[in-house]
Amino acid sequence: MSGDGSRQRQSWAARHTQKTRQTTSKVRANSIENILAEQEYRIDAFAAPQTAKDARSRQTYSTSGGYPGDLSAGTFSSTSSSRQGSSNGSSSGGSSSSSSAWLRKTKLVCTIGPATGSRQELFKLADAGMSVARLNMSHGSHESHKAVIDLVTAYNETGRGCVATMLDTKGPEVRSGDLAEPIPLERGQSLTFTITEGETGKDRRVSVNYDGFIDDVSIGDELLVDGGIISFAVTGKTDTDVQVEVVDAGVLESRRHLNVRGKSATLPAITDKDWLDLKFGVDAGVDYFALSFVKDAQVILDVKKWLSAQGSKIKVLAKIESADSVKALDEILDAVDGAMVARGDLGAELPLEDVPFWQNQIIQGCRRRGKPVIVATNMLESMISNPAPTRAEVSDIAIAVREGADAIMLSGETAYGKFPLKAVAVQSTVALRTEAAMTRYQGARRFGTDEAAPIDWVTPPGRRSSSSSGGPSDGALSEMFAYHSTTMANTVGAPLLVFSKKGGMPALLSHYRPNKTVFAFTDDAQVQRHLALYHGVIPLLLSFSDDAEATIDAAIAALVARGYLAKGQVVTLVQSGKRPIWRSASTHTIQVRRVESKHMGSSSSLDDD
């Protein structure tokens, strides 16, 4: 008996080992390493897609099962032809269906620099999934940034996708001066920073670009170089000099960024250079400003007032990256159009262990207000020089997605890194897999996750102003319809279709995080680009005719032509918002429509910009 039991245990162990090997093989086949290994082929294949459908197809997660979040059946696809089946079972005749492809909802912001500033590389980056091109005004010239803006415009005109531009100001910074040569520093050595100009390292004296540096620093403070790669303890100071002792050794080079831990420099919120850069951005037609080192709401209000006087509709984002900004977080988020969690300087001015807490606070603060939020800095830092990410970096991306960020950003990884396209592929892949898993195992996003509170009203019903008749205001009705449209779309398993003049209703729908994509049609190219930042929204440009049915049919036909919809599928049509289109101001509607034979032709009048 014992011999039989032994043989049974051995047999079970053998079967278990074989099953484990098979499972491990499947996991490896779908792993990031395999995706990266195939990336060179994929980059070549996607370098010049013939249609917008070809360009879009690599931003999908295909599932052969009946549910878009069924990870056990899923494979990442590089061609639209690999998508099969239908999530709602309504596709007939075996035609391919976009509902079987999980479209990534989290947007990607990529910094453009020497590695990606050419037409070929920027187009590849956009084809790989970039939604917003970031212009870092700490580097480059107005001429080089204008060349990038022109390339983004050219890309949008091809019809392969929609990319917005974001001008990121340099902001007020304290930097060391030019050195005759780098200075090696060992623990315990002394150094002097001085506001006296022209000190280039001789006698271990280094100039600083800001006279107020003396007043901002106190004996005992911790002084950081570039966020902590070198650190000093402040041991003394005079009217012109600050004496420090090396705590963490390193090599000091020219023009390094200096921070005092726990303090913000008393510099003006916007420098003269920043104002010149903002004026350049208005003239060049960028879509977003990201203001660095915002301390309070007043600077946001000042810039918005200035933009209004310029007749500009550029949206203003606040970079939360200083000790002062977290103290005034609520008033800043109330004033801005969106925010960026700029973790580099935030981690220099605050204790590092506080950064995850404030990241979540900033994300949830934007979510409550229905405003887009970007998580930035060091997401794939190792991929600046390495072809694959660390496991911690992969988890970092997943956490930002689970917390509800609208977008995640790459900085040096795409600006000057060796593997910019692989970095984008990793971000896209991890975001896709995380989103699909969340929907599969947790249901509708608006009910929250372990990291993100449930999504509530932007304006609670009890605080909404009423119309003159005593009923809800138009704004209140719009938000109610966005909420219930999301409920209906989730119930029937359909994407949402909305037409918008200003972008308000697509933004509300994005706020409620529907399970499927929001297809937002607008006749304003700048509104289209603004919506490129919003979670789960695919913005498309379409000329609106006076005939509502003709325009709706044209939009559905365009989605069919691009592979987003197939015959027999249903779509939730929302007609609401502060600015009525084809309806009276007092009428708001939600409809469920099915894709019919009349939508299967190629007569769409869709324009791309």
Q: What is the pLDDT of residues 434-483, one digit of tens each?
A: 998 888 776 655 565 666 777 777 766 555 555 555 566 666 778 888 98
Contact partners, residue 310, CB within 8 Å, separation at least 6 = 282
Spot the catalytic one: 377, 439, 486, 522: 377
Confidence at 349, pLDDT banded by 50, 70, 90: confident
Greater confidence (586 vs 258) lies with 258
Query: Does residue 139 carry a pLDDT above 60?
Result: yes
Concerning whether 19 is annotated as a catalytic residue, the answer is no
Is 56 tagged catalytic? no
Residues 374-393 as b or e (16 or more Cβ within 10 Å = b): bbbbbbbbbbbeebbbeeeb
pLDDT for residue 60: 45
Q: How far apart are CA 490 and CA 308, in angstroms?
A: 39
CB of 517 closer than 8 Å to CB of 105: yes
Q: What is the pLDDT of residues 51-79, one digit of tens each?
A: 444 444 444 443 333 333 333 333 333 33
Residue 116: predicted pLDDT: 97
What is the percentage of the chain residues whose pLDDT exceeds 90? 60
For residue 470, the model assigns a pLDDT of 58
| Residue 330 clears pLDDT 80, i.e. is over it | yes
Domains and CATH numbers, the chain: 20-101+465-599 (3.40.1380.20), 107-170+268-432 (3.20.20.60), 183-260 (2.40.33.10)
pTM: 0.80
Annotated active-site residue in 42, 107, 134, 256: 134
**How large is the average pLDDT for residues 249-266?**
88
Weakest mean pLDDT among 144-158, 187-201, 569-583: 569-583
Candidate list 146, 170, 175, 368, residue with the active-site label: 175
pLDDT at 255: 87
pLDDT for position 168: 97
Please state, in angstroms and rounded to a whole number, the distance separating the CA atoms of residues 459 and 462.
8
Q: What pLDDT, on the 0 to 100 scale, is given for residue 4?
A: 52
Say whether 106 is catalytic: no
Q: Between these two residues, 323 and 56, which has the higher pLDDT value?
A: 323
Which range, of 1-10, 155-164, 526-535, averages the lowest pLDDT? 1-10
Structure confidence at residue 228 as a pLDDT band (50, 70, 90) = confident
Name the percent of the chain in helix, strand, coil, to the closest 5. Answer: 40, 20, 40
Instruction: Report the alpha-carbon angle 561-567-569, nearest 5.
Output: 110
* Residue 463 among the catalytic residues: no
Q: Give, as one character, the DSSP assignment of residue 461.
A: G
Cα angle 240, 245, 247 (rounded to 5 degrees) comes to 140
pLDDT at 34: 55
Per annotation, catalytic residue among 237, 304, 319, 367: 319
In 3D space, the residue among 68, 73, 66 whose CA is nearest the CA of residue 90 turns out to be: 66
pLDDT digits (tens, 9 = 90+) for 166-186: 999 998 888 899 999 999 999
